[in-house]
A and B are shown apart, each in its own frame.
Chain A
Amino acid sequence: MSVLATRAEPLPADRLYLGIMTSPHDPSAAIVRDGQMLALADEERFTRTKHSFGAYPIQAVRYCLEAAGTGLTGVHQIAMPWDVAAYSGGRIEAFYDKMADCYDVDAATRGWLVAAAAGHLSPGQPARLAPARAVSRLRATAVPPIVGPGHPYTHAFQAAYESPFDHCVALVLDGSGDTHCGTVWLREGGELTLLREICMPHSLGWFYAAVTEYLGFASSDGEYTVSTR
């Protein structure tokens, strides 16, 4: 049985929702009300460093809040494209521990796996999910509730609901997101149903990144140079 999050709870529309993308690459923020995006910003536009690898999108968050004329306390919820509950509850870490148990993994590789392969699996990750740095740097007194329906669901939602089709299939082939790297979804009207799933370590995206680096380009950047037929 899948542990993948397959739906997001309906929310009151007339509130402010702040989206924060923390990731090894391309951190960003957006703010939404009544289904309308009020502001969107990538951190790299402020840092002037392409992809802003490893950065927290603090300047993007600040820009979005200012554009909406509010502070962090005016936000109803913060949304993140990760399965927040699974990270905070240790389920993600347990998954990768179990994955490592399935193979003959030496200690050095195990350390690499935890520290690098799934960099957001380190014990500090829950703190990274919670925008503690934003709280201090924005001089906020409290953090709004943080929700995250899961990475594959987020990709599928965007693909399916930005399409003009009420009935369609969405294919997500990612490097990795939470525990998954491939999913197939069916959109039927307002419902998004998970049809198929592929879990780590069987990631086409990671293999693509591996060969991209093997060919002398940086991963999460140079893929577009090797691709395109």
Chain B
Amino acid sequence: MGLASHGRPDPYLDELFARVLLSDDPVEYRLDPRFIHYGPHTYSGRFTDHLPELLGRPPVRAASPSGNGTWTWRRPLSARLSALPAA
């Protein structure tokens, strides 16, 4: 079972995701490419530095130990991600 199943809906994350995933109607959507493509890629080739700025925390380091807040952050974010594209 993945992390998403351990997360709970979070209106704050809904608001943040709405800045990345732009949708004017239930069918069409666009992504603001600044968060993935356009900007400095200090941490990863997969996202720009704008993404951690948006989320308000630096990226989680691989193999971070649990119990330091990592998992309490991973769970709701995983849940929100797996709810894409619904806002």
Interface residues of A (CB under 8 A from B): 103-106, 108-109, 112-113, 116-117, 198, 201-204, 206-219, 224-229
Interface residues of B (CB under 8 A from A): 1-5, 20-21, 29-31, 33, 35-41, 43-47, 51-52, 55, 59-64, 70, 74, 77-79, 81-85
8 residue pairs from A and B, CB less than 8 Å apart: A112-B45, A113-B37, A198-B29, A214-B44, A216-B64, A219-B46, A227-B4, A229-B2
Q: State which of A201, A216, A227, A228 has its C-beta within 8 Å of the C-beta of B36.
A: A201
| Complex alpha-carbon distance, A211 and B48, angstroms | 11
A210 contacts B47, C-beta separation under 8 Å: yes
B21 cross-chain contacts in A, Cβ below 8 A:
204, 207
B78 contacts A202, C-beta separation under 8 Å: no
Interface secondary structure of A, over-half rule: helix
* A103-B33, A219-B46, A228-B2 known; A214-B51 Cβ under 8 A: yes
B84 cross-chain contacts in A, Cβ below 8 A:
204, 207-208
| Complex alpha-carbon distance, A206 and B55, angstroms | 17
A228 contacts B5, C-beta separation under 8 Å: yes
* A202-B30, A216-B70, A218-B62 known; A227-B2 Cβ under 8 A: yes
A218 cross-chain contacts in B, Cβ below 8 A:
62
User: A105-B38, A229-B82 given. 19 additional CB < 8 A pairs?
Assistant: A103-B33, A106-B38, A108-B40, A109-B40, A116-B45, A198-B29, A202-B31, A207-B36, A211-B81, A214-B51, A214-B52, A216-B59, A216-B70, A225-B3, A226-B77, A226-B78, A227-B81, A229-B2, A229-B4
Q: State which of A109, A203, A224 has its C-beta within 8 Å of the C-beta of B39.
A: A109
B63 cross-chain contacts in A, Cβ below 8 A:
216
| Complex alpha-carbon distance, A155 and B2, angstroms | 25
